[in-house]
Amino acid sequence: MASPATCGRYGPAVADERTVQQLRDDVAAVGAWRHRIDLGRGVVTPGNEDTEAEWRRLQLPARFDGERVLDIGCSDGFYTFTAERLGAAGLLAIDDESSFMAETNGFRLAAEVLGSRADYQARMLESLDPATDGTFDVVLFINVLYHLRNPVEALERIAAVTSPGGLLVLKTYYRTDVRLWVRGRCLGFDLDRRPKWWYFPGSELGGDPTNWWAPNAAGVDALLRSTGWTGVRRIGTWRDRIYFHARRA
pTM of the predicted structure, to 2 decimals: 0.90
- What integer is the mean pLDDT of 24-39? 93
Question: Which alpha helices (DSSP H) does the chain contain, by range?
Answer: 4-8, 20-29, 51-58, 78-85, 106-114, 130-133, 151-160, 217-225
Q: Say if residue 11's pLDDT is above 50.
A: no
- Residue 186: its pLDDT value, please? 75
C-alpha torsion sign, points 6, 12, 14, 16: positive
Question: Looking at the predicted structure, is the pLDDT value of residue 4 above 70?
Answer: no
Which of the pair, 67 or 12, is modelled with greater confidence?
A: 67
The arithmetic mean of pLDDT across residues 69-80, rounded, is 96
25 SS3 class? helix
119-122 and 90-95 as β-strands: parallel, antiparallel, unpaired? parallel
Which amino acid belongs to residue 16? D
**What is the share, in percent, of the chain residues with pLDDT greater than 70?**
92
Taking only the tens place, the pLDDT of each residue in 76-129 is 999 999 999 999 999 999 998 876 555 557 999 999 999 999 999 999 999 999
Distance CA 184, CA 38 (A): 26
Q: What is the pLDDT of residues 121-180, one digit of tens each?
A: 999 999 999 999 999 999 999 999 999 999 999 999 999 999 999 999 999 999 999 878
For residue 197, pLDDT over 80 is answered with yes
What is the predicted pLDDT for the residue at 2? 39
Q: Where along the chain do its domains lie?
A: 63-248
HEC assignment per residue over 230-242: EEEEEEEEECCEE
**Each residue's pLDDT tens digit, 46-55:** 999 999 999 9
Check whether domain 63-248 has CATH 1.10.357.10, yes or no: no
**pLDDT of 189 over the 90 cut:** no
